[in-house]
Amino acid sequence: MYNQPKLSVVGAGPGDPELITIKAVRALESANVVLYDALINRELLEYAPQAEHIFVGKRKDRHRYSQDEINELIVKYALERGHVVRLKGGDPFIFGRGSEEINYARKHRLETEVVSGITSSIAVPANVGIPLTQRGTSESFWVITGTTSSKKLSEDVKLAAQSTATVAILMGMGKLEEIVEVFKSFGKKDIPVGIIQNGTTVNERSGFGTIDTIVDVVSDKKLTSPAIIVIGEVVKEANALQEVFQNVQNIPQQSKLINAGAA
């Protein structure tokens, strides 16, 4: 049934289909068309069985549609069909270009709505036990895109590397070696690093090390995009590392000494 032309830019969350808001579900239930991205969980489309589902995803070096084409599709389908939901991974206003789509729709006199999503920059580290802030350890955090629109490493990485804040880098796997060199240049080679691939999904994988070792860890574990890079002392709180520490503590003292001597 035709409705008033409307665009809802909706955050789908970090990957786990249960990490979506009630408001987002309601938007999907009322949609006539859903334009969805590559990183959203396809299970979420089940909330919009009456809508047409159109994939407009962009991945590294593989764009089905340009941003201009997506903007045009939004207006086209809204005028023809009514309510368009633009379903985007994480939160649409954090490196999601959601504001660009909202502004374009407003210029074409569409009703607009933004439904915030749970951002992967917070939820993915939390899912493996990493708090971005922790009393006595980290008083703040940076969320930085690893690759700018000009395909270069963000200059903000250099600024973040000079702080004591936790640094969460999205879209940075292709720049990992450059990121490592930046932190080393500021004497941070021993800072802990965690990398989480496909966070909060059944395909989640992770690796942990330091600035000095993380490139080798990524190579050994064959970690790839999409992944989040977390740099800072709080990485030591990761569940996997806590299990290692616990296992070490449970080793009898004599065994510890033997193992230490063997090392």
pLDDT band at 68 (very low <50, low <70, confident <90, very high): very high
pLDDT higher than 80, residue 253:
no
Among all chains, which residue has been given the structure tokens 């004591």?
Answer: 164
pLDDT band at 254 (very low <50, low <70, confident <90, very high): very low
Confidence (pLDDT) at 90? 96
| Out of 92-101, 138-147, 247-256, least confident range | 247-256
| Out of 7-11, 21-25, 251-255, least confident range | 251-255
Among all chains, which residue has been given the structure tokens 């979420």?
Answer: 44
CATH code for the domain defined by 120-246: 3.30.950.10
Q: How far apart are alpha carbons 138 and 190 in whole angstroms?
A: 16
Confidence (pLDDT) at 60? 59
Tens of pLDDT, residue by residue over 165-184, are: 999 999 999 999 999 999 99
Look up the pTM and report it.
Answer: 0.88
CATH code for the domain defined by 6-115: 3.40.1010.10
Residues of the chain with CATH 3.30.950.10: 120-246
Residues of the chain with CATH 3.40.1010.10: 6-115
Q: Which residues are catalytic?
A: 37, 58, 171
Q: Where are the alpha helices (DSSP H) in 96-238?
A: 98-107, 120-127, 156-161, 176-185, 214-221
